[in-house]
Chain A
C-alpha cells in the first residue's frame, strides 16, 4: 500500500483538486475525466481553499482495527466552498459538530502502517471559528 499512498500524497496533504475548463466544474477527489463533459474534458489542477460546510456527519464507534485508538471519531460530508463534496474526518470533539458548521482544513495524521510502517498524513477539518 506504500506506493498507493505516496501517489496521492500531493492531493491528500494539500487540497489540490481538478477543474474542468470545458464546464467550469471543480472536482475533489481529483478526476482525470469530467463525468459531465467526458471526452470534451479539459482538466487542470486547482488549489482549493480548504473552507467548507458540514452537510452530514456520523460519530463512528465501530472502527476499522487500525483506528481503534481514535474511537469514537467523526466522519463528515463537507461541501467545499468551490463546490465539491469531500468525505473527511473532523478533528474535534463529537459534541462540537453540527450540520451546517463551517469548517477549515488542517494537516493531521490519519494512521500508520503498524509501528514499523509509514505514517499516513492527510487533511482533516476543524471548526472554522477555531482557526
Chain B
C-alpha cells in the first residue's frame, strides 16, 4: 500500500561535466610553479574545462534533461526551477528561464537564479523542498552549475572548473528522502567577485579556518544535534570541495572516515565546479547508494554559509536508471593544453 504521506526528497537527478580537461602540470609550467607542490598542496590533479559553446546555461540544461529523462515525468509538472551559479551567462536575465524553455516546462512555473558562491545549488534544493512541502508545486528543479573562472596565475586557476548537477525535488517517487536540512550563515568575506569584474578575488588562507571550516563544521554539527545523528549513522558524507584537502580535513574534524567520503570526492579529477561541487559529489554517491543508506551533504558558499542535509535512500532508487554515473563522466575526457584552455576560457581573444 502506498503511503499517504511521503517525505519530500530527491525524485531524480542528472549531471553534466564538459569533456575537456587540463592537467595541473600544464598550468604550472606556464607560471613557473612546481606542479608536484601544487598537486600535493591542493589535491587537484586536473580540472574540467568548458568548450567555447558551453556555459552555465548549457550545462544546466543538459543536467536537467538527464534528471527529467531518468524520472520519466512530464516536464509540465515541474513547478519551479532554481539555477544556482556564480557564473550565470547574463548578469541580468535569468538562466532558469532558458532551462525552462529547453525542457518545455511550459509557462506555469516559478523561476529564479540564485547566487551564493558555491552553495546556491543546495539553496535551490531547500527552496524546492519548502515549496513542495507547502503544496505550491508538484516537482521543483534545483540546479547547481558553474563555469568558474580563476584569474591567470591565481592559485584558483588550478581548481576553478565547470560542471553541474540537477535535482528533481518532490514527494512522489522519491529515491532519497531529505530527513532534515539546516544552514549556518554569517557575513564572512572570504571570497568575492565585484560587479563587472571578470575574475573573483579571495582572502588567501583566510578562506580556510574562519570561512570554510567554521561554516561546514558548524552546519554539520547543527544538523547532527537537531537530528540526534552521529557520524557513524551515515554511510556516506560529502562536503563542498574547493580543493582535495579541505573536505578531507573537514571530515576528519567531524569524525568521518576516509571510506565515508571517498565515493563523493570528485574534486581531484574535475576540480572545483563551484555550485556543482558538493552536488556532483552527492550525485556520485547516489550513483552507487543502496536503499537504506544515509548520506550527509554539506555545501559551502563563500560570503559565507553552509547548508547541511541528512538524506536517506529509498527502495525506489533501484528503479532509477543511474547510468552513466558521475565517475563515468569524469573518466570520459580529452586533454587540452594551456593555449587551448586560455582560448576556451576567453582569456585570450581574437580581434
Task: Report which A residues bind B (CB closer than 8 A).
Answer: 9-10, 13-14, 16, 47, 68-70, 91, 93, 106-110, 119, 121, 124, 130
Q: Which residue of chain A has its CB nearest to the CB of B89?
A: A119
B102/A70 in contact, CB under 8 A? no
Could you give 11 example pairs across A and B, Cβ below 8 Å?
A10-B101, A10-B104, A14-B104, A69-B350, A91-B51, A107-B57, A108-B53, A109-B57, A110-B53, A119-B89, A124-B53
B102/A107 in contact, CB under 8 A? yes
Shortest CB-to-CB span from A64 to chain B, Å, is 13
B314 at the A interface (CB under 8 A): no
| A44 to B63 CA separation, bound complex (whole angstroms) | 29
Residues of B within 8 A of A47 (CB): 104
A107/B62 in contact, CB under 8 A? yes
B90 at the A interface (CB under 8 A): yes
A121/B57 in contact, CB under 8 A? yes
A69/B52 in contact, CB under 8 A? yes
B249 at the A interface (CB under 8 A): no
Residues of B within 8 A of A119 (CB): 55, 57, 89-90
A130 with B104, Cβ < 8 A, contacts A69-B350, A70-B52, A70-B53 known = no
Residues of B within 8 A of A130 (CB): 332
A109/B54 in contact, CB under 8 A? yes
A107/B343 in contact, CB under 8 A? no
B47 at the A interface (CB under 8 A): no
- Beyond the given pairs A14-B104, A121-B58, A121-B102, 10 more chain A to chain B contacts, judged by CB atoms under 8 angstroms and listed by A's residue number, are A14-B103, A69-B350, A70-B52, A70-B53, A106-B62, A107-B62, A107-B102, A110-B53, A119-B89, A121-B57
Shortest CB-to-CB span from B187 to chain A, Å, is 33
B53/A13 in contact, CB under 8 A? no
| A91 to B51 CA separation, bound complex (whole angstroms) | 9
B101/A109 in contact, CB under 8 A? no
B350/A109 in contact, CB under 8 A? no
A13/B62 in contact, CB under 8 A? no
Shortest CB-to-CB span from A51 to chain B, Å, is 13
B98 at the A interface (CB under 8 A): yes
| A124 to B54 CA separation, bound complex (whole angstroms) | 11
A107 with B104, Cβ < 8 A, contacts A68-B350, A70-B53, A91-B53 known = no
B268 at the A interface (CB under 8 A): no
B65 at the A interface (CB under 8 A): yes
Residue from A9, A69, A93, A110 within 8 A of B101 (CB atoms): A9
B280 at the A interface (CB under 8 A): no
Residues of B within 8 A of A69 (CB): 52, 343, 350
B61 at the A interface (CB under 8 A): yes
Max chain B C-beta neighbours (<10 A), residue from A91, A108, A124: A108
| A10 to B65 CA separation, bound complex (whole angstroms) | 15
| A68 to B89 CA separation, bound complex (whole angstroms) | 20
Shortest CB-to-CB span from A72 to chain B, Å, is 12
Residues of B within 8 A of A124 (CB): 53
A107 with B58, Cβ < 8 A, contacts A9-B101, A70-B52, A124-B53 known = yes
Residues of A within 8 A of B51 (CB): 91, 108
Residues of A within 8 A of B334 (CB): 93
Q: Which residue of chain B has its CB nearest to the CB of A68?
A: B350
Q: Which residue of chain B has its CB nearest to the CB of A109?
A: B53
Max chain B C-beta neighbours (<10 A), residue from A47, A69, A107, A108: A107
Q: Which residue of chain B has its CB nearest to the CB of A91?
A: B53
Residues of A within 8 A of B101 (CB): 9-10, 13-14
Residues of B within 8 A of A91 (CB): 51, 53
| A121 to B53 CA separation, bound complex (whole angstroms) | 9
